[in-house]
Structure 1
Amino acid sequence: MNAIVRGGWRDRILMAALTLVALAWMSPLLWVLGLSFKPNMFLQTRTDLIFSPPFTIANYFDIARVSHVFRWLANSAIVALCQTLGVLVLSSLAGYGFARTAFPGRKILFVIVMFGLAVPGQLTFIPLHRLFADWNLQNTYAGLVLPGVAAPFGVYLMARYFRAIPVELEEAAMLDNASRLKTFLLVILPQTLPAQATLGIFTFLSCWNDYLWPLVIGTKPEMYTLTRGLASTQTNFAQSEGLGFLMAQAMFAALPALTIYVFFQKYLVAVAVGKGR
């Protein structure tokens, strides 16, 4: 009985500690959210009273009045979804190839792919920009999507996950005269749903929040992504004259990403603890 009581107290203390950590982690987000509902004139004098009047939703209406904002939102959605789909397809095929097939130079090629994890993306900006400019892909969806489709981390994650799937599943399917492609699509691939969801979430969020590559490849306002477009509306005095509008922009840009994460976070947990396979 005493052990049960001690265990209960430990659980409560742990939960209280985790709650405090969560509140500390969320405090910047809550601060941004509170400032987004404050009048800009009020924020010129003080920014500490975020949960007391006055409040306003004018900052969010000001976003809607920006001429291209919904085009930028659509651009971000198109680019993020297409890039996520491309990463999932290519990473699954490459990961399965490295994990399940034997071909000459497989280990060396896998090491070369892993070297891609050590190369900062900024180092490839100049050659990529020149390449896409020569191909006339500036200010196009292809130019925004294609550089992010090559994902060494996705290949590594999927190869690791495929190796953890029992080989007997494939052997049983092939004994029933199923081809390798059919075995991959109908037997093996469904087993990797948690890894697919995790990779999809990371890819989508990374693409949605990307600013540097859209800044380089998209120069026309109608081809801006949301992060690039909202940044273009900020003046040199945004922090002093339009802080509420600036915070509303941040919340507007972050809301789709937060929604995606909330709905798919169970798959992140499943991969982290090794379940769902």
Structure 2
Amino acid sequence: MSAPAPVLTGAGRMVGRSSGDRVILGLTMLGALLMMAPILWVIGLSLKDNKELMVSMNAVFSAPYTIQNYINILATSSVFRWILNSIIVSGGVTIGTLILCSLAGYGFARLNFPFRNALFIIVLMGLAVPEQAVLIARHQIFSWLKFHNTYQGLILPGLSAPFGVFLMTQYFRAIPKELDEAALLDNASRLKIFWKVLLPLTLPAQATLGIFTFLGTWNDYFWPLISGTKKEMYTLTVGIASTQTNFAQSEGLGFLMSQAVFAGAPILILYLFFQKYIVQAVSGAAMR
């Protein structure tokens, strides 16, 4: 058996691709196809007439296809208001989380103040508290403040992000303190050091935190269902769910799948645009 043909790289080195590399590449591609199969199945169902799917699910493999299910979604008068609500809520939670977590992370990593370690432990304990455990208390507080069916009522709970505080604290701690000392010698204030020197170095972590926060908020269903009870304050997930009939899974499967695609498309596009920042953040964390 002859050796694999060498490949000339841009640096002029001769690199041979072994059969093991080909096997790994093939398995990776197979795994990717298996992971994409449910997505392709959902898209295929969304492009079929509901009556055809009631006869046989195999209809998804043959023409004709239709976009009528998506037209039916857009025909709902409130759907664009629901999209706007989701954008406002997800954007507000994301921006607020980045600001608060960056400031808290800088404080825990760089500043000395009383009970710093104890407060950091209390923040981390928030990771162990499920949302359902505080749901009744939160509902009562927001009812007393009259925050239900308002944007602040949908946004404020999402600003509690102990994982974000932990992530930003670890990133700030990984930055050499010599940068702070050099800036202090130049008479820079703490705020200027944070804003001009350290914050730009944490952009990969901020991008990752921002993306996951946006995705989590966009897909959130539980709290918006409780807090936003008026139709004009529905987020997209709650609004789309409200359009389903009691027999949607049996009589309107194509329409149901088109709703899933319609709700998931924006966050998929967001991920495709910002995936390189996720890779940078993960690789940076691994190096640290």
Larger radius of gyration: 2
In the alignment, structure 1 residue 123 sits paired with structure 2 residue 100 = no
C-alpha distance in structure 1 between counterparts of 2:170 and 2:125, whole Å: 16
Q: 1:273 deviation in Å?
A: 1.3
Moved more, 166-175 or 133-142: 166-175
C-alpha distance in structure 2 between counterparts of 1:251 and 1:88, whole Å: 28
Q: 1:171 aligns with which of 151, 165, 181?
A: 181
- C-alpha offsets along residues 233-258 of structure 1, whole Å, 9 cap, x if unaligned? 00001011111111000000000010
Structure 1 unaligned segments of length 5 or more: list them. none
**Correspondence 1:186-265 to 2 at 5 A:** 186-265=196-275
C-alpha distance in structure 2 between counterparts of 1:46 and 1:164, whole Å: 57
Q: 1:107 aligns with which of 117, 126, 132?
A: 117
Q: 1:262 deviation in Å?
A: 0.9
**Correspondence 1:1-277 to 2 at 5 A:** 2=3, 7-274=17-284
Structure 2 unaligned segments of length 5 or more: list them. 7-15
- C-alpha offsets along residues 23-49 of structure 1, whole Å, 9 cap, x if unaligned? 111111111011000001101012234
Which secondary structure does the structure 2 equivalent of 1:86 belong to? helix
Which secondary structure does the structure 2 equivalent of 1:50 belong to? helix
C-alpha distance in structure 2 between counterparts of 1:121 and 1:273, whole Å: 30
Q: 1:3 deviation in Å?
A: 8.0
Q: Is the 8 A contact 2:52 2:59 kept in 1?
A: no
Q: 1:2 deviation in Å?
A: 4.2
- How many pairs does the alignment contain? 277
Counterpart of 1:120, as a letter, is P
Q: 1:209 deviation in Å?
A: 0.1
Which secondary structure does the structure 2 equivalent of 1:44 belong to? helix
Q: 1:104 deviation in Å?
A: 1.0
Which secondary structure does the structure 2 equivalent of 1:104 belong to? coil
TM-score, scaled relative to structure 2: 0.93
Q: Is the 8 A contact 2:171 2:202 kept in 1?
A: yes
- C-alpha offsets along residues 121-171 of structure 1, whole Å, 9 cap, x if unaligned? 111111111100000001000000000001000000000000111111111
Q: 1:7 deviation in Å?
A: 4.0
